[in-house]
Structures are given as C-alpha cells and as structure tokens.
Amino acid sequence: MNGLLEQKAVVVTGGGRGLGQAFAVHAAQAGAAVVVNDVDVEFAERTAEGIRAQGGRAVASGHSVADPKQARAIVDRCVAEYGRIDGLVSNAGVNYEALPWQEDPDQVRELIEVNVLGVVYTGMAAAEAMVAQGGGGSIVNISSGASLGQRKLGVYAASKGAVASLTYSWALDLEEVGIRVNAVCPLAHTRMVWKSERSLRNCPPDRTPSRIAPLVLFLLGENSAGITGQMIRCNGPQLHLVGQPHFKAPILERDVWDTESVERAFDEVFSAHLEPYGLEKRVPPKLRKWTENPLRTA
Ligand SMILES: NC(=O)c1ccc[n+]([C@@H]2O[C@H](COP(=O)([O-])OP(=O)(O)OC[C@H]3O[C@@H](n4cnc5c(N)ncnc54)[C@H](O)[C@@H]3O)[C@@H](O)[C@H]2O)c1
C-alpha cells in the first residue's frame, strides 16, 4: 500500500535477511524512511542499498540489539538521520533445537540476550524517544506460535513467550502516551526454517516473508489506530488472533489450601478442566483414557 507510511521513520532490527528484510523493503515502498539494522552489517547494507536503488530512503546499522548501548544507538541513528522515530519492528532473533538435558548454557544465554533482552533494550530506547518527541508511535514485536510450547524449542519458545508478555504489559504502560504495542507470529521460508528439517516440512514453499509484510505495515500505520496489546499470527494464507492466557473458571476458594485439599481439588474438579498443552495441544495423561478412541486402535 503505497503512501501508508509516508512521513514515518521506522527501525527494523534483523533487517538484513529473511522476514526483517521483507519488512524493511515493504515499509520503504510504503513511504517510510527506514533504519535497516542487522548484526551482519553487510546484509543490512545490502538491504538498504536495494531500497535506495528503488528510490526509497534507508540507512544501515550494524549494531547488536543484545547490548543496551548498541540498541540505543540503533534508535539514535533513526532520530539523527530522520529527525524522529515513529515505528519499531523488533524482529532480530536466533533459534536452535535442543532437548532439555542437552542445552548448552552459553547458547541459552545468547538466545535470551538477543530474543528477549534485545526486544526490551530496543523497545525501551524507542519508547523513550517516542515520548520525548511528544508521544505516539507503533512497536511491532515478532513473537512466534512456538510461544505456546514446542518440542526441542523450549528456550526459543520461552523467549517468544516473554515477548508476548512484554507486549501485553507495554501496551498497558504506553497507551496513555499514544504508543501501540502489538506482536506478530509469522511463518515464512527463511534461514531459520531452512535450518530445521521439521520446520521445513511444516512450511510449504509458497510461504514467503513478503506475505507477512502487509500485516506488519498495517500495525505500523495509522489505519490500525485503536489496535494494541494484540498478538496476531499470519502464516501466508491464514490470519488470526492468538488468544491471551487467562484465569480459568472454576476458581475455587477456601481460606487456606493444604496439600490434601489441593489434591481433592484436582480429583474432583480440575481433572475435568485440564488443558491440552503445547502448540500441538497434547492431551494430559489423566484425560487420555477419555479422549483416545479405542475403536481406532482396535
Ligand atoms: N521464519 C519463521 O517462520 C519464523 C516463525 C516464527 C517467528 N520468527 C521470528 O521472526 C524473526 C525473523 O526471523 P527469520 O526467520 O527472518 O530469521 P533469519 O535468521 O533469516 O533472520 C534473523 C536476522 O536477525 C539478525 N540478528 C541476529 N542477532 C542479532 C542481533 N543481536 N542484533 C541485530 N540483528 C541480529 C540475523 O543476522 C538475521 O539477519 C525472528 O525473531 C524469528 O524468531 C520466524
């Protein structure tokens, strides 16, 4: 949608390749002046050059979102170059697969530093600059359907769950200064998907990053005024909201819960209300005798 982001200055982190590159290119085509950030600076440069070659406005930043000073420098670059910041797409991310007992603490730390702290640091700096220029703006965090729980992706899933919680909390905090905060759960062919045989199997070839960009542009633009605190998933053909976790009825009450009364609560009440868990919605063992179809295995 040409002109949707006219007069707007937008930062896209991790914009050197994959989804971030598509978000940066489409934002520029919609009229935004863009800071294309990527720790792989030559990829950021290449994306920015491509945008300029098409007549758009873009500069590159090779800072890492995982360092608070560098995250601030990304936002400072936007303000120095374009005089303001109107949008932030916190897209930079990493992932790997491991079973819980195979996790490497250094790899765990690195993932959390990029996927969680990176989103916090960049978002803090953007919100501060947006407030300083009089309020208003849009932050789009990139979460994942994996935040619901996925095999071999525990730490990645936890990082994306943290992004979801941050989105809901910051949407509350920033509403009064007119800054909206939403999260997007994408699915698209990128390096991240190519690395995993399972992800590749679940990602048909037509799921390109460009198919997710219109949703991100909508959330950055004025036409999504009034939309905040939402998590939205797009996998190419499907677009839907992701329901928020909530306190589930029945809520039992008594002055004090001892272990015996907790056990009775599970036996007599909660056993009928247990939740299927994880992205695959696995039924808890206690319920399987009721849900598994004996005729199917007979
Ligand atoms: N591809 C999918 O299907 C999918 C699904 C769900 C969520 N996501 C999320 O989408 C986002 C983009 O991922 P992608 O699939 O395009 O992967 P990708 O690996 O192609 O791109 C990620 C980019 O982030 C950059 N990056 C990594 N660490 C950085 C840092 N510290 N500072 C700045 N840049 C850094 C990388 O250099 C890379 O260019 C990620 O947050 C990812 O978790 C992707």
Residue range 28-44, pLDDT digits in tens = 999 999 999 999 999 99
**Span 194-220, average pLDDT:** 92
- Give the C-alpha separation, 78 to 72, whole Å: 10
- Give the C-alpha separation, 285 to 103, whole Å: 26
153-157, 202-206, 245-249: least confidently modelled range: 202-206
Angle between helix 105-112 and 154-174 (nearest 10): 20
Tokens for 271, please give them: 């056993």
Q: Catalytic residue positions?
A: 156
38, 195, 216, best to mutate for ligand 1 pocket (most atoms within 8 Å of CB): 38
Atom of ligand 1 at shortest distance to CA of 90? Answer: 41
Q: Is the CB of 18 under 6 A from ligand 1?
A: yes
Cβ atoms < 10 Å from Cβ of 77: 18
Output the pLDDT for position 201: 87
Rounded to the nearest angstrom, the distance between the alpha carbon of 21 and the centre of ligand 1 is: 10
pLDDT class for 298, splitting at 50, 70, 90?
very low
Output the pLDDT for position 152: 96
Output the pLDDT for position 82: 98
Output the pLDDT for position 1: 55
190, 215, 216, 235, best to mutate for ligand 1 pocket (most atoms within 8 Å of CB): 190
pLDDT class for 193, splitting at 50, 70, 90?
confident
Q: Is the CB of 70 under 6 A from ligand 1?
A: no
Residue-wise pLDDT for 53-90, tens only, equals: 999 999 999 999 999 999 999 999 999 999 999 999 99
- Give me the DSSP letters along the chain: -TTTTTT-EEEETTTTSHHHHHHHHHHHHTT-EEEEE-SSHHHHHHHHHHHHHTT-EEEEE---TTSHHHHHHHHHHHHHHHS---EEEE---------GGG--HHHHHHHHIIIIIHHHHHHHHHHHHHHHTTS-EEEEEE--GGGG--TT-HHHHHHHHHHHHHHHHHHHHHGGGTEEEEEEEE---SHHHHT-HHHHHTS-TT--GGGTHHHHHHHHSGGGTT--S-EEEE-SS-EEEPPPP-PPSP----S---HHHHHHHHHHTGGGTPPPBTTTTBPPHHHHHHHS-HHHH-
- Give the C-alpha separation, 40 to 98, whole Å: 25
Amino acid, single-letter form, for residue 297: T
Domains in the chain: ranges and CATH: 9-241 (3.40.50.720), 259-297 (no CATH)
Atom of ligand 1 at shortest distance to CA of 67? Answer: 31
Q: Is the CB of 129 under 6 A from ligand 1?
A: no
**Span 42-57, average pLDDT:** 98
pLDDT class for 202, splitting at 50, 70, 90?
confident
Residue-wise pLDDT for 15-32, tens only, equals: 999 999 999 999 999 999
Q: Is the CB of 112 under 6 A from ligand 1?
A: no
Q: Look over the chain and give the mean of its residue pLDDT values, rounded to a whole number.
A: 96
- Give me the DSSP letters along 64-108: -TTSHHHHHHHHHHHHHHHS---EEEE---------GGG--HHHH
- Give the C-alpha separation, 54 to 45, whole Å: 14
Residue with tokens 């063992």: 285
Is 297's pLDDT higher than 70?
no
User: Does the predicted model carry a pTM greater than 0.75?
Assistant: yes
Q: Is the CB of 66 under 6 A from ligand 1?
A: yes
Residue-wise pLDDT for 232-273, tens only, equals: 999 999 999 999 999 999 999 999 999 999 999 999 999 999
Using an 8 Å Cβ cutoff, are 245 and 181 in contact?
no
Rounded to the nearest angstrom, the distance between the alpha carbon of 202 and the centre of ligand 1 is: 18
Output the pLDDT for position 296: 62
